[in-house]
Structures are given as structure tokens and as C-alpha cells.
Structure 1
């Protein structure tokens, strides 16, 4: 376990990352269970792998124990969904949210920009969080409809711009 940092540094660290926009995903597992994450990052193309981190919650515990996961990358129009999976007690896996189930049992968002299914390679405890490295076995690509980013504690939607038309 890493030693805790001075409060001033921790507050400045949080402030620094509030200035840095990130993509938004809902990570799901059979159950169904899911949570919103803004920490998804590409790790390797060969083998395909990504990482994300979770903090302690009942959803996070279930995600950490799951043998396989789906990382659903969100686009515009998914703010309510992101908020529902970010807070406890929000509506989850409702028919109007656009969920379906893979043959392996995980929920998959039919409106996602992309859904990446994989198995955890490693789970690394870091302070009050756990970093998960996920080997990707399947990728389902949705339409490139735009972006949903999280920046300074707010969701921001941007439409897709066709570079070929510019």
C-alpha cells in the first residue's frame, strides 16, 4: 500500500485532473452490475488491452470479482446514463437505456461508440482505488456519433465532425 500524500498535494492533484477532460464509459459485468468510469485508457495494441480504475463501492467490488467485463464507451446522448451509473440508486439496465446481453452474460450498450469485452489480466490496489488491466477479446463498434467527455465535474457532449467533409 502506498503512503498517503499531504492533503495539499492531494487537493492539487484532484484540481489538476479536473482541468483534464477524459472520455466516459460504463463498465459492466454479468449480474447485471455496472459503474461509470472516466479513467479508461489504452494500454497495448498487441495484445489489445486497456486499463481503468475503480474506488470502493458495491458495484466496484462486483466488477473486481467478475471473470469478464465489457467497457462501453459513451457518446453524446448518454449523460443521463452516465449519471445513473455514477450514483448509487440510479436507474440501471432499463429497457429504454438500450441494453442487450452478450451470449457470455455481460450487458452491452447497443448505442455505445464501442463496446470492448475482455478478461482481467491484473488488478492492482493503489491507495483507495484498484487499477484493472483488461485484455480485450471482442470489440463491437457503434456509429461514430460524437463524444462524451467528463471535465471539471461536468459532462460535455460534442457532435461527430466528418473530417473528410471539412
Structure 2
């Protein structure tokens, strides 16, 4: 059943984001969803990893919505030992301590409202307290275990 479940979601394309917190710590997620406009809120889930545990303990974080130019960055943050927070990637630090990528499509600074343990994952619901927008870019999609770059056609 678990393999069939994973296979079903591999067939379903999603957007790609990198979530970061002070430390610095960060990881790639493909489960970001808008939850509410009033208050502005989003959700995402993470599996139990060292990076996820540090992120879940943080009082705030930034969800970076990624575009085509960030495919390599998404891959780096998706695998253990990948380069993270390098000068070449373009990271800066907010006054509140979180790493921020100004060239992301958007950076949504958020504070957690709820953390719900579900099996080996944690669902996070967070209130967005600041929205930082970067330059437009083409789509970056996660589909069939690959980051797919789209030119919009």
C-alpha cells in the first residue's frame, strides 16, 4: 500500500519550495499549500530528518517559492550533504535571523500555528507575517521524482 501511495503522488506534479530557518537550516519541500487569506496562512509537511527537526523547533521560518532558475538549489537542499547557504546561491540573512533568497519568486516569512505529527511526518500550519517578492521566473515543478523546468508552454 505504501509503495502504491507514493507512486500515486509521483504522478501528481507540484510546485517546489525551500524552507529555511535561523541556524541556518533548510530543506526542499513539494507540499506547500495556501491555507487561508485571513489570516494569511500556509501549510507544508516534512519527514523526520535532522534538518526537519531543527526547522520544526524554530520560532519562525521562510518558505521560498522557487522558479526554473532554482532547480539546482532545490536539488542541493533535497539531498543530505548538498551545498547549502553558499555565496554563489545568493543567500542573505533577515534581521530576524532566517536565511532569505532574494531571487526566489517569493519568500513567505511565517510563524508556526500548528504542528501535527502524522506517521513519520509532521504537518505544519503557519501564519505568514511577511511577503518578500523576487523576480519573475518560469515554473519549477516536482513530478515523477524529478525537478521539471517549464518555459510556460
TM-score (structure 1 length as normaliser): 0.90
Q: 1:1-166, aligned counterparts within 5 Å? A: 9-159=1-151
RMSD over aligned CA atoms reads 1.0
Give the superposition deviation at 1:110. Answer: 1.5
The Cα offsets for residues 110-134 of structure 1, whole Å up to 9 and x where unpaired, read as: 1100000010000000000000001
Question: 1: CA distance between counterparts of 2:145 and 2:37?
Answer: 30
Q: Retained in 2: the 8 A contact 1:145–1:160?
A: no
Q: Retained in 1: the 8 A contact 2:102–2:133?
A: no
Give the superposition deviation at 1:34. Answer: 0.2
Give the superposition deviation at 1:160. Answer: 5.1
Question: 1: CA distance between counterparts of 2:117 and 2:9?
Answer: 20
- Structure 1: any 5+ residue segments left out of the alignment? 1-8, 162-166
Q: Retained in 1: the 8 A contact 2:69–2:137?
A: no
Number of equivalences? 153
- Max Rg structure: 1
Give the superposition deviation at 1:42. Answer: 0.5
- Structure 2: any 5+ residue segments left out of the alignment? none
TM-score (structure 2 length as normaliser): 0.97
Structure 1 runs (4+) greater than 2 angstroms displaced: none
